[in-house]
Amino acid sequence: MTQAAHPYHYLRSSVLDDRHGRLGLETSGGSTPLGEVAHPRFFEGVLTSPSAAAAGLLAVADVAAARYHLPRPAASLDPVVTANGDRLRFESFSGCGGVHARLDVLESGVDGGEIGHGTTNVDVNVPLRDALGRLGPAEPLRLAVGPEELEVTTLDGPVVEKQVPLPERWLRGFAETQVVAAGFDLRAELPAAEAVRFLRSLTAGGGAGGTGAAGGTGSGRGSAGPTQWVLPAGRLLRSTSRPVPGAVCLPGPRRLVALQRVLRHARALRVYGPPLTAGDTRPTGSAWEVELPGMRLTLTLSPDPARGFSGEGGVLDALASAGSEQDAELVAVLLAWESRIDVAELAEQAGLSPQRVRAALTRLGTSGQVGYDNAEAAFFHRRLPYDAGRAEAGNPRLRAARALVAAGAVRPEADGGALVHVEDHVQRVRRAADGSLGCTCLWWAKYRGGRGPCKHVLAVGLAAEAAATTSVTGVAAR
């Protein structure tokens, strides 16, 4: 698996001062409205629910340090924090790339202080985790995100540096998660008592059963557990033996174990998933949001515990779309760390259709510039130190499709389909009545588009767009 060493540089380690009730989170190099800053400062103020905030931060750190598929020791990745002016968002991915965690600290969760704008990483080290775990329920907590007295402390002592190996699939997870989550709708909402009972049942040693519970256990220590389905029934969730319209997939219930951290603070549980129709049998992703006082903690699960988000293929159409790169460059200029991106307003500002803006946002997501918040049903802006070209170069299907087009392997047919010549065999790409493309290859037979288009379908789309561009250019020239 390809890895890249990502350096984190901190002025000092993050600490929790027990005597004065002060949590200082140190930042590493990040983006702000003023450009790149070595150690940005985003917030200083009082947390209105300190115990819940400490538990939420620990849950995000738990996910960063965990591998739910084929468990083994994993490097703890420093969470990403984004300041959106009206909230702070702390995010992480599991080591296996199949669980995305995000803690949103809303305006009502802080008292005093002004939340800035920008994105960086924060140091969450082992001593800090231990200290947060000891925080009492009645202890006050003042939060500072970023260094104090930067002009002085930059010269005070050595810089704390971490070199963390990041798999390419972890980086691509940011791109795919926002596409997957954007296809979810709210499916169920449970009050506090039922939410706690349901979530505890999922990770109980013997599994759970009966109304409102999804039964079953994993097959080994640290196992994510088998894929299950739950169906809303009033203000409860009950297990169902098969996917039916209205049901939500729970792929690996033990991947929700990090939510145990915040159960005593839970006010409600909201469950999000894609719409299901009769005949749908494939597992899907889902998002599980626990409402906390002044905060929300959301875990988004990939459709299969055995694979992370990186292979879902949701960004391929946007990456392969002609003009999406130029659209993305234009849209990126208009973004300013919005906590809720208004697509219609952005389309008007950019002079593009809403459809093209959504494709541009998807493409920007490949460099971590866009995330999706199910509670707001909207995209939000952040900036990570990754470029979109890296995500595209790291996608083998897109690389293979471009190679097929460059080799002249695509032969269009009159019915809108095409023959794609691959070495010593030919794949046929057919166009259905609704305009969608299917293929005769094994990938398509296995996933039926459930993990994005195959390389042959991508190649046909790329070739068609290239031909259309050439035709328009030729007409203009004449």
Residue 292 CB partners (closer than 8 Å, separation 6+): 49, 52, 56, 262, 265, 266, 267
What is the structure's pLDDT at 101? 97
* DSSP helix/strand/coil, 434: coil
Q: Which of 164-168, 181-185, 219-223, 260-264 has the lowest mean pLDDT?
A: 219-223
Per-residue pLDDT, averaged over 351-360, amounts to 91
Per-residue pLDDT, averaged over 310-321, amounts to 63
Contact at 8 Å (CB) between 312 and 179? yes
Per-residue pLDDT, averaged over 368-393, amounts to 81
Q: Which of 100-109, 190-199, 239-248 has the lowest mean pLDDT?
A: 239-248
What is the structure's pLDDT at 309? 77
What is the structure's pLDDT at 342? 95
CB atoms within 10 A of CB 21: 16
CB atoms within 10 A of CB 317: 17
Per-residue pLDDT, averaged over 121-142, amounts to 89
Task: Give the span between the Cα atoms of 70 and 417, in whole angstroms.
Answer: 41
198 token code pair: 């349901």
What is the structure's pLDDT at 391? 57
What is the structure's pLDDT at 26? 93
Per-residue pLDDT, averaged over 427-439, amounts to 87
In the predicted model, is pLDDT for residue 206 greater than 80? no
pTM beyond 0.95: the answer is no
What is the structure's pLDDT at 158? 55
Phi-psi region of 474 (alpha: psi -120 to 50; beta: other; left: phi over 0): alpha
Q: Mind listing the pLDDT tens digit for each residue in 26-75?
A: 999 899 988 889 999 999 999 999 999 999 999 999 998 888 876 665 56
Question: C-alpha angle with apex 17: 12 to 18, nearest 5 degrees?
Answer: 155
Closest CA to 116 of 45, 57, 205, 12: 45
